[in-house]
């Protein structure tokens, strides 16, 4: 838990520094001061509200025991096994099978699944996926991943703003620097989100549901069916892709830089090696 707090604090400090540098390049001392104030506000907002922003990006709709009884009952059963508070449960109306967890801590968490994953997976496989997402909540990965998603997107936005508004004729270096901001956002994302966390969540998720093969079978199915089914919200906001159980991006252009998932085949191999 301390490691994730340290990682998140370091990420926020890096964001502040980057905002300051860009502000200075675009507007001198006044620009740096303004950018630092914006960075401070962005960090504050990201900590408290980034989960809500991500859920809005995906047009996620909250469900409960009356609107989605089977899904809700499954989450209730798994949180008892995981000794976690009950998170909010959301449904995303997308054909691509996928799922993610978000929030700042286990007491303020949410689990979201797409309609595509409900149609594709058996109940046993869906339990494995939900257990994986609950493992991220239990390990407190969700704070780092949710804040990273919103802040990496903010860095990219600053870069494009600089491209549009900077005096490029007067200072061509501004163009060069801001063109690098989107890849830099992806690099920060890569540093903040270790691929090992997916292996750890797979292992913990297998323990929560008590069935490593269920999660392995689910990952194989999702990988196979997700290809060719774009997830529009993820394509528009690629920094959020690292939150998904399987990489939802097409991989075209700069979007490929945001791929933080380990190979699905290796994840499956490790799951099948776990004792039943």
pLDDT tens readout for residues 78-117: 999 999 999 999 999 999 999 999 998 899 999 999 999 9
Q: Which residue has the higher pLDDT, 256 or 134?
A: 134
Count of domains forming the chain:
1
CA 78 – CA 252 distance, rounded (Å): 36
133 in active site: yes
- Residue range 238-245: average pLDDT? 85
pLDDT the model gives residue 95: 95
Q: Which domain holds residue 37?
A: 2-273
Average pLDDT of the chain, as a whole number = 81
Q: Which residues are registered as beta bridge partners of 103?
A: 109
The dihedral sign for the CA sequence 21, 25, 29, 30:
negative
pLDDT score of 62 more than 50: yes
Alpha helices, DSSP H only, in 58-121?
69-82, 115-120
> What does pTM read for this prediction?
0.79
- Residue range 129-152: average pLDDT? 83
Confidence of residue 219 (pLDDT cuts 50, 70, 90): very high
Q: Which residues contact 175 (CB under 8 A, 6 or more apart)?
A: 163, 166, 168
Among candidate residues 133, 198, 204, 223, the one labeled active-site is 133
pLDDT the model gives residue 161: 54
* Structure tokens given for 215: 């999660």
Spatial CA neighbour of 123 closest among 231, 244, 217, 227: 217
Spatial CA neighbour of 227 closest among 84, 80, 120: 120
Confidence of residue 246 (pLDDT cuts 50, 70, 90): very high
């Amino acid at each position: 838990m301390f490691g994730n707090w340290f990682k998140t604090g370091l990420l926020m400090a890096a964001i502040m520094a980057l905002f300051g540098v860009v502000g200075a390049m675009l507007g001198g001392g006044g620009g740096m001061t303004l950018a630092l104030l914006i960075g401070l506000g962005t960090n504050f907002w990201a900590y408290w509200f980034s989960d809500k922003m991500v859920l809005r990006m995906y047009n996620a709709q909250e469900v409960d025991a009356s609107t989605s009884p089977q899904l809700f009952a499954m989450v209730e059963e798994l949180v008892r096994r995981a000794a976690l508070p009950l998170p909010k449960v959301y449904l995303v109306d997308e054909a691509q099978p996928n799922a993610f967890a978000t929030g700042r801590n286990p007491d303020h968490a949410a689990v979201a699944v797409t309609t595509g994953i409900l149609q594709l997976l058996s109940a046993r496989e869906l339990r494995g996926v939900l257990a994986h997402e609950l493992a991220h909540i239990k390990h407190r990965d969700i704070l780092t991943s949710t804040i990273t998603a919103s802040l990496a997107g903010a860095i990219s936005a600053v870069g494009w703003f600089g491209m549009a508004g900077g005096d490029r004729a007067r200072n061509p270096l501004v163009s060069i620097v801001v063109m690098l901001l989107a890849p830099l956002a992806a690099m920060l994302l890569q540093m903040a989100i270790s691929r090992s966390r997916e292996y750890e969540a797979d292992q913990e998720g297998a323990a929560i549901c008590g069935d490593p093969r269920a999660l392995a079978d689910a990952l194989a199915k999702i990988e196979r069916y997700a290809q060719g089914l774009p997830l529009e919200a993820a394509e528009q906001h690629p920094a959020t892709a690292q939150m998904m159980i399987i990489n939802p991006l097409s991989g075209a252009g700069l979007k490929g830089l945001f791929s933080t998932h380990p190979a699905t085949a290796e994840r499956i191999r490790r799951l099948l090696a776990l004792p039943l």
